[in-house]
Chains A and B, each alone.
Chain A
Amino acid sequence: MTEKQKELMLGNKAVARGLYEAGVCFISSYPGTPSTEITEEAAKYDEIYCEWAPNEKVAMEAAFGASLAGRRAFCAQKHVGLNVAADPLYTMSYTGVNAGFVIAVADDAGMHSSQNEQDSRHHAIAAKVPMIEPSDSREALEYTRLAYELSERFDTPVLLKMCTRVAHSQSIVETGTRTVPDKPYEKNIPKYVMMPGNAIRRHPIVEERTRALIEYAETSPLNRVEMGGTELGIITSSTSYQYVKEVFGDRVSVLKLGLVHPLPVRLIREFASRVKKLCVVEELDPIIENHVRGLGLTVSGKDLLPVCGEFSQNLIARAFGRTCDVPYSLGESIPGRPPVMCAGCPHRGLFYTLKRNNCTVLGDIGCYTLGAVAPLSSIEMTLCMGASIGALHGFNKVRGAESEGKTVAVIGDSTFMHSGMTGLANVAYNQSNSTVIILDNSITGMTGHQQNPTTGYNIKGDPAGKIDLEALCRAMGFECVRVVDPYDLAQCDTVLKEELSIAAPSVIISRRPCALLKYVRHKAPLRVSSDRCVGCKSCMRIGCPAISIKAGKAHVDNTLCVGCGVCSQLCRFGAFESTGKEA
């Protein structure tokens, strides 16, 4: 890695570069789109210890420990991941830090890859910790470095807020060099032991810190005014700033906020006094807007702009009364192309089995959430990480025998490690007759193949501890722990029926590695014998993207097919045959 050069860099990679330059020594995270690449990129620096933790709470606590020990530390998560880690966060606000501690949280306005659209700024307000927010890769790098100075200067964890468009856009950055500060660890019970007697004394310190941070916000280089006339003044931050500049250039005045909590007072009043009309442009909730209105100023914002979804330049242009030209359109509707399970996905056979058995399936977070999509349409509930098992227990407790014989939870290996284990402990302890299916594809799939405690490898791909799922479930008291191969439909069907029929809680582990893993050896693609295919479309029931109907007969796309053979188990006419050519 050469120093001091201009590079086109992904926002998340720029954060990783900022961590390197800030002398960060310890990173622990749980993957989540759009935050994952920060930790993956940081792991490429030999100078930084990086790990995937089982979940965000554990990651944040581990990073806190490193900060306490005197080395700059970091953890990253997506917006919903911060909910999991909220417990340590809210009290770390009281303890403060030893060496600098920065926490990245990546929001997903537009829900490109998320189950909700929550605005993480609420966490900064509620936890009473500062939050800074870059608007491109250059700022992502600079703000990350600055965040460590603020963390140590104000004795607080600092939240670094990213969003999909900053995290997953590349723009030009200038890189610098790494310096590693080292702080000694000193025993300090009143500061770090948060029992009531001590916490009572820490709370006023938190409030005093917020007052000092507001004072800092008034003159911080993170907040800047770009005057461009007096007609309209726009207060904005993050990627919204880029859209505003795209639409208006230098023709309106802009107050760009890089410190989004706490917000300045005098700076906003002064900006407002210099313009005739004041407006806030912010994605998701009206947080800046409510603050400005709370100062007694007249301001518009969510009366013009939506709360839901992400912004774009046209959306903002139209909100301000401009028209946008759309010169070309087609007269007919274009079929949608939703994401689908890949050809050869090991989840497909299992979901087909669940559908055939008319099961009620409570789902979880991962690629397999696509089991809710036609034609498999199996999953009937997905809430948050680990919820499938917790919900199954409650469902069976109130419905009893009526549901026990046909209701299951499905959860991936990584999600099970994240927060499924505690749900399973509840099933074991409070004894519901529940059948839990762990979809073990030996990787964290959806976020792009991260290792986890069941895979036996660490973030760098080196051998690591490996948790034995069968032994774990047995240790919790499950006597029925079965392992099936989801490519074998008959076996899946038999085992599912057996485990649903017995009057005891059970775990089925559906085990086969993700078809996209590089080490997985595939069989030759299949082809359809047009003599034997009668066009019955039985094979279409599994929703494989490699199979389509062409001229009334099934057709296999041999650039997609990996020869898993699930389709051929559905064909009563033996129409699928191997091409014999290994991929």
Chain B
Amino acid sequence: MKAKNIMIVGVGGQGSLLASKLLGHLLLSQGYDVKVSEVHGMSQRGGSVVTYVRYGDHVYSPVIDQGEADFIVSFELLEAARWISYLRKGGVIVTNTQQIDPMPVITGAAVYPDQLVDKMRDAGAKVDALDCLKLAQEAGSAKAVNIVLLGRLSHYFDLPLEAWMRSIEANVPAKFLEMNQNAFRLGREASE
């Protein structure tokens, strides 16, 4: 099997490292070769962050390049738009519709573009957009946006639900397990 590519993009501090950890665990448990590349250090301070998850029979490069991503999982709408050139022909953008103003917008040096979901669809991309913050809060914590997104992503994978649930169990603290399981289901079962 040729390597498959999942990009996780968002704003530093939104919890993308947990999402990649969970995906890595899941894909390893399915017998794949897996590579995950993360960003640490300065970019984490509220900047644009990207994590690459690659899996297949054999994976060489730890990064995903332009035109290669089967999925772009985005924690924030502007970030989905920023990375659209990384989407492979026929790939899917799974994005939270939450908007977080970057500093150039806060200071007035730039404007947050409107209608981004439509614009990405007009560009020909398949976009699955969901208010994950709302669903996360419904599940019990605004911090569960990452798990809601993974629930949504699971939709596109031919993997048993228990495999996802086992990876959640292995990667979140026991006291938050039920909340995260709920968040996952809400994302998986939500309609756009």
Contact = CB atoms under 8 A, between A and B. Distances in A.
Interface of A: 6, 8, 10, 33-34, 36-37, 112-113, 136, 165-166, 168-172, 239, 242-243, 245-246, 312-315, 324-332, 334-342, 367, 370, 373-375, 446-448, 537, 540, 543, 545, 547-549, 557, 559
Given A113-B43, A168-B37, A340-B47, A330 B62 contact: no
B35 interface: yes
Interface in B1-45: 11-13, 24-25, 28, 33-45
Interface of B: 11-13, 24-25, 28, 33-48, 59-63, 65-68, 78-79, 81-82, 84-85, 87-89, 100-113, 119-120, 123-125, 142
B37 A341 contact: no
16 contacts: A8-B24, A34-B40, A112-B43, A172-B28, A242-B62, A243-B61, A324-B65, A324-B67, A326-B67, A331-B119, A337-B104, A342-B45, A374-B103, A540-B107, A543-B103, A545-B106
B42 to A, nearest CB: 4
Contacts, number: 188
A243 B60 contact: yes
Nearest to B133: A559
Contact of B60 (A10, A246, A338, A540): A246
A245 B60 contact: yes
Contacts of B39: 112, 168
Given A8-B36, A313-B61, A324-B67, A338 B89 contact: no
Contacts of A341: 45-46
Nearest to A548: B101
B85 A329 contact: yes
Given A169-B38, A340-B46, A314 B65 contact: yes
A6 B82 CA distance: 36
A340 B11 CA distance: 11
Contacts of B68: 313
B106 A548 contact: yes
B106 A543 contact: yes
Given A8-B34, A172-B34, A548-B106, A334 B81 contact: yes
A327 B88 contact: yes
A334 B67 contact: no
A335 B111 contact: yes
Contacts of A375: 107
B94 to A, nearest CB: 15
Contacts of B101: 545, 548
- Which of B62, B78, B79 has the largest number of chain A CB atoms within 10 A? B62
Given A165-B37, A330-B119, A242 B60 contact: yes
Contacts of A171: 33-36, 59, 62
A25 B105 CA distance: 51
A325 B119 CA distance: 20
